[in-house]
Amino acid sequence: MSQLIYNPFDREMHPPYLSPEYKSTLLRAPSQPLVVVKQSLSELSGPVFGDTNVGPLDHDLTKNARRNGEPLGERIVVHGKVTDENGRPVPFTLIEIWQANAAGRYVHKVDQHDAPLDPNFLGAGRVLTDAEGNYKFYTIKPGAYPWGNHHNAWRPNHIHFSLFGPNITTRLVTQMYFPGDPLLQYDPIFLGVPPKGRDLLISTFDLDITEPAFALGYRFDFVLRGSKATPFETV
């Protein structure tokens, strides 16, 4: 059996490691050229997840932390498909998400933003793609929040995604944005992605997945590797 070799990612699609307008990259970007390591079995094999890794409510952020009532905010459904660079579905891979609540605050001790926490919303979940590479989350639309990168800096509404893919070369951490957000044009993280890749980070409104009188639907697909790969999060 021939060994599968993954193509390098497109530098015109993905953000550079150093993006001066995004100030924390000045501290953590590599100072020396990266060394390309020849692919071996360790790069071409990956984790195997089963049903025991994911709980029955892990995909539903409106329920997985509920204590005394419904979480506050606009309910949404986020769904899509994960494929490889050849368009084949990636089944049974783990997707994790984390996000701010509707007021723009994370459940994390570092986040001291003057906005309320929601006792019924943790802001984290996970799911396995099905046999056709499909996934679906129920959650609350996250709020914008100030982040101190520059004067009057606010992050657009976004959800963080982590995908493991079939092996280490397809590991992806990225962010999903929402269509029509006026803050996108001011956000150094989003603008750190080359123009060719920016639209791939914006979800699309999906009336077909919208649930009547309950939640608006958004579609966000992922491509792992290749010329149409979903851009990774600026690091």
Q: Is 106 a catalytic residue?
A: yes
Q: Which one of the listed residues 14, 79, 126, 158 is annotated catalytic?
A: 158
Q: Is 66 a catalytic residue?
A: no
Question: For residues 195 and 179, what is the distance between their CA atoms, to the nearest angstrom?
Answer: 16
In DSSP terms, which residues pair with 96 in a beta bridge?
126, 162
DSSP character for 103?
T
Q: Which one of the listed residues 138, 160, 177, 218 is annotated catalytic?
A: 160
Strands (DSSP E) along 59-156, which ranges?
A: 75-84, 94-98, 124-128, 134-140, 145-146, 154-155
Answer for the pair 167, 43: CB distance below 8 angstroms, yes or no: yes
Question: For residues 114 and 53, what is the distance between their CA atoms, to the nearest angstrom?
Answer: 35
Q: Which one of the listed residues 106, 138, 177, 218 is annotated catalytic?
A: 106
Q: Which one of the listed residues 145, 177, 218, 225 is annotated catalytic?
A: 145
Q: Which one of the listed residues 155, 177, 218, 225 is annotated catalytic?
A: 155
Q: How buried is residue 216: exposed, middle or buried, by Cβ count under 10 Å (0-12/13-18/19+)?
A: middle
Q: Is 59 a catalytic residue?
A: no
Measured in whole angstroms, the distance separating CA 151 from the mean position of its chain's CA atoms is 26
Active site residues: 106, 145, 155, 158, 160
